Structure formats: C-alpha cells, structure tokens
Homo-oligomer: A and B are copies of this chain.
C-alpha cells in the first residue's frame, strides 16, 4: 500500500485509505480475499486493464498511454479526484473501480460536495461484495474530506442497492437531467 511500492505514480496518497474507520461500515477491506488489494489508481494501471474495466461500464474510446497519462496528471494536479480501485495481484488486473471527486461550493459555509462516479466491478468478480466495499470506502473518504453531502446518479434498478448503503432519493428533488453534445 506504499505510494511507491510499485515504482508508480499514485493519484492520491494511500494514507487517506489507511486512516478510514470502517467500524460502523457494512463491510471493510479486511474481508477482501488476500489476492485482492484496495488502493488509489496508479498511472501504470493503464497496463493493468483499467480501461478494459471501464469499457464494461460505458464507451471508453481509443485512449493511448500518452492520453491516459495526461488525463491522470490533470486529475492529480487538480487534487479533487479520488479514483479508487481493487487489483487482483495474481493476474495484475484492475477488477473494480469507482471515483470520488470533490466540488468546491460557496454555499453551506464554503463547503465541499462529494460525488461518486464511474462505478464498475469486472463481470467475473461480481457478487462478492466488491461494489459494497468500494462505495463504503468512498463514503468514508467523503466524510473524512469534510464533504457536507455525497451524491451519485444511477439507474432505476440500482436505487435499492444504493439504499442499503444509505443513499436516498429525496422525494421531489432527485432528478438528474441531461443534454448530450455527442449524439
């Protein structure tokens, strides 16, 4: 879990993960099988199938290593992106990922709002609680980063699943509207 254990650049300090208190959480990293490691995204996860994993979620497109590295650096320099992954160290593949990012506000005493984005578990690893673990982890991180609230957008069929983790569709005010520019 050391930031330089792989000789690679990490998106955020893994210390943030190590200090989370899972005592009231529905799961914790201690329940992970030994060959699975929860950690921040690393720049060299490009070669560990990170984009293949994202392609199970949505269209990724043709991202070469240079473009990946540029985007990674932008996120890292920005300082508000906490892409968190699970790696299967027996295969050196990233098999679960979710992003927390934090948004600056003037409202609520110049607060931070947390957002969860791009949640995906590899099809071969579903049903073992990895989704619960990564969302619970991002919840604890958002709280630890002093977010006043944490939100995510989801499909109808995921509402019940997220409700187990405390996410609520607040009546009359839980609509996410969209304009696409790429259609």
Contacts and interface: CB of A to CB of B under 8 A. Distances in A.
Interface of A: 50-51, 54, 57-63, 67-68, 70-71, 74-75, 78, 80-81, 83, 101, 103-111, 115, 117-118, 139, 142-143, 147-159, 162-163, 165-170, 172-182
Contact of A71 (B104, B118, B176, B181): B104
Given A63-B110, A78-B80, A108-B61, A180 B103 contact: no
10 contacts: A60-B107, A63-B106, A68-B106, A75-B104, A78-B104, A103-B117, A150-B178, A153-B176, A156-B172, A168-B177
B173 A174 contact: no
A67 B103 contact: no
A109 B61 contact: yes
Given A109-B61, A110-B71, A179 B104 contact: no
A107 B70 CA distance: 14
B178 A174 contact: yes
A165 B178 CA distance: 10
A57 to B, nearest CB: 7
